[in-house]
Structure 1
């Protein structure tokens, strides 16, 4: 079970006791990500996440920051998403205070030295270049741009080389001052911890934290009336394919049925796509599907990497599987999907770091926390009719988007065949 306290300044502190654990997971999350940026400042959230590891008044260099956690055998990292930025550390129980102190220091007291800003700008641009060169990353960017054209969800989290190059220190300080405020942030600590002790440690480190809360929400339009296609033609040994439709938001109760549909379709080695595309036809080494749930929309995406000469055959097979699953799934498939979802979640939550990210993320994004047992109950409650309903609603020819990266040209809009 978890415990939750809102401090006087508005910061939410959540703990989850895991008395069997030798480690402690600490996460400090801010409700700001790529979707809260203007078009001209795309990449700002991600850039700031990088810069928070470059120095504070008390820890003036990157090495001072990293060595403090690595010197006690811990792990330190951060990530930027569409709607959140998370700083986290995993350490042994005896070093919990060090992890809390360091995370609050880098998130609240980074100096954003001008020289470090310029150096890290080049690092981020190289990260962007790297992702553009990796076809799996590039096709993921392309499918997002097709699903949400000219919208925040359609932009890459890292921004573009042009927008990152234009961000200056004044803009960084203004952005941090707006979004890194107490009401926008959640601290989560998991492991063999006492809630009151954690609250006391955190409260001592956020006394000067700016108060406030910024509005949640951004432009999003999932309306689509015809199939969309995007192709990035380039040299390579494979054609990388993403075939996608819009899905449901994380607040939509249908997300559990959508997740079951995703697992049956392409979640694991016993899924329909893996069985048909890889095992039966030998078309792809990597074939899978995944679902995403955001504030007001979501997506269901199929990925495959194939021989360019067999692209048409692969697309025909993928569309055939989508059509077949739209016609219905079996009780056996649904039960197997439920057990996979529940089992994978249970295994994931044995790790204190994963537990801190999962629990803290729920509090930050949903303002509520479902326990493992509550999630499992909702997964178990999914019916065949519910899976059939989401398949019928979302798996339609006019809702399809197709992205291809590789040595191909002239890709036609996708269309589902009759089942």
Structure 2
């Protein structure tokens, strides 16, 4: 039986761990000189390889004078280095049928590439050239400001994006986790290239870098290529440097809920309704219980919300529940879209289902939810990108990496009483109601 891989605390140096995973996969973790952490998962028979370069810094970490820098860097690192133009970067991946992209979160940034295994050396060289040697030219900065403003405008035109952003702000208002990841037009217009450069130099360092790779990879070869690429990029990989520590998962979160938010959008045909509350942290020991609870409440077509609000009453096309965790806290909500005249009824039914969950669930609901989670979990981890991402989050957030078998065992161990207790907890919390729609 595979065992949980306890990742050495981020502050450890010179550590090297190896453990077998499910079906012959092998996970290894090393800390290189400079404090760079490298985690790989070699998966037998897989010809693809996905590389991720993680910086444990997201939108929550921006100093006031650097606000917007995290999102800006996600764009600017693809604009060129001393060795490559933006076109060179794009062509490197296009000529091998690979792909590269980046994602910015509230707590981390990741630059990644997916290629066939024989092209992994190229991917490492290009991605780490971007990380170590971004030009951050003024002309590129000015152009990308316009691109980012267009991106924000596109998001603002999507009422689904708007309501989720406003919901998070309402639940975590005043806390840095309540800030929008991409910034606002005011923030993007105000930030300067010098501020972005300062943010880059402060946080893009060896001790803050985590490299993850999964698929057709060899750990020792990846470590050697990473060290070579970082040295070529001018980073000092001095011995004895301690990796950056993980966040304090027990830090208090002081935020005042805004119980009701109404946004009038005359051009919309539907009202978008979101009802929810403060949720759970990513490391909460009840996370498997929460997954089962969510599946029963609003995680699929057989869920209570879908059956009651859509199938029995025909009030919505889309209705679901969701959780969004972070290190210290999270949000949990129920979303639906309907014609404006039905918004009050839809919200009332959402509240009823939240209360009904606290009354208990059936054994058949429990087993169906476990099967749904188990199947989706295994299918989700069938590609090298998902495995790469799992390694990064394990190192940044959890501090350990469970095998698939252990994750499934944890889900199957959830009981009716545990779900009922969690449901009662959620039902007792102060709620936030957000709507976006016509007057």
Q: TM-score, normalised on structure 1?
A: 0.92
> Does the 8 Å CA contact 2:172/2:255 hold for their aligned counterparts?
no
SS of equivalent to 2:54 = strand
Equivalences for 1:250-261 in 2 at 5 Å?
A: 250-261=282-293
| 1:30 aligned residue | 55
The offset of 1:277, in angstroms, is 1.2
| 1:46 aligned residue | 71
Equivalences for 1:224-239 in 2 at 5 Å?
A: 228-235=259-266, 236-239=268-271
Equivalences for 1:10-21 in 2 at 5 Å?
A: 10-21=35-46
Q: Are the structure 2 counterparts of residues 74 and 220 from structure 1 closer, same or farther at C-alpha, using a change threshold of 3 Å?
A: farther
Note the residue ranges of structure 2 that are not aligned, 5 or more in a row: 1-20, 22-26
SS of equivalent to 1:304 = strand
The offset of 1:227, in angstroms, is 7.2
Provide Cα deviations, 1:269-296, integer angstroms capped at 9, x if missing partner: 1111111111111111111111121111
State which of 386, 393, 398 in structure 2 corresponds to 1:366. 398
Equivalences for 1:129-144 in 2 at 5 Å?
A: 129-144=153-168
CA–CA distance in 2 between the matches of 1:273 and 1:394? 16
Provide Cα deviations, 1:186-239, integer angstroms capped at 9, x if missing partner: 111111222111111111112343566377359863666x87010111111000
| 2:196 aligned residue | 172
| 1:209 aligned residue | 235
Q: Are the structure 2 counterparts of residues 30 and 71 from structure 1 closer, same or farther at C-alpha, using a change threshold of 3 Å?
A: same
Q: Are the structure 2 counterparts of residues 48 and 220 from structure 1 closer, same or farther at C-alpha, using a change threshold of 3 Å?
A: farther
CA–CA distance in 2 between the matches of 1:259 and 1:38? 34
| 2:17 aligned residue | none
> Does the 8 Å CA contact 1:148/1:220 hold for their aligned counterparts?
no
| 2:5 aligned residue | none
The offset of 1:177, in angstroms, is 1.5
| 2:436 aligned residue | 405
SS of equivalent to 1:188 = strand
Equivalences for 1:7-406 in 2 at 5 Å?
A: 7-60=32-85, 62-207=86-231, 208-209=234-235, 213=244, 216=247, 221=253, 228-235=259-266, 236-396=268-428, 399-406=430-437
CA–CA distance in 2 between the matches of 1:34 and 1:401? 23
Provide Cα deviations, 1:297-347, integer angstroms capped at 9, x if missing partner: 112111111110111111121111111111111122122222222211111
The offset of 1:374, in angstroms, is 2.0
The offset of 1:108, in angstroms, is 1.4
Provide Cα deviations, 1:220-275, integer angstroms capped at 9, x if missing partner: 63666x87010111111000111111111112101211121111111111111111
> Does the 8 Å CA contact 2:320/2:336 hold for their aligned counterparts?
yes
CA–CA distance in 2 between the matches of 1:238 and 1:39? 37
CA–CA distance in 2 between the matches of 1:244 and 1:222? 18
> Does the 8 Å CA contact 1:277/1:317 hold for their aligned counterparts?
yes
| 2:15 aligned residue | none
CA–CA distance in 2 between the matches of 1:323 and 1:227? 21
| 2:10 aligned residue | none
Instruction: Give the alignment's Cα RMSD to 1 decimal.
Output: 1.8
The number of residue pairs the alignment matches comes to 405
CA–CA distance in 2 between the matches of 1:204 and 1:105? 11
> Does the 8 Å CA contact 1:239/1:306 hold for their aligned counterparts?
yes
> Does the 8 Å CA contact 2:315/2:338 hold for their aligned counterparts?
yes
Note the residue ranges of structure 1 that are not aligned, 5 or more in a row: 409-419
Provide Cα deviations, 1:58-91, integer angstroms capped at 9, x if missing partner: 112x221111111110111110011010111111
CA–CA distance in 2 between the matches of 1:222 and 1:326? 26
> Does the 8 Å CA contact 1:72/1:95 hold for their aligned counterparts?
yes
| 2:12 aligned residue | none
Of 329-338 and 268-277, more deviation after overlay is shown by: 329-338
CA–CA distance in 2 between the matches of 1:380 and 1:160? 43
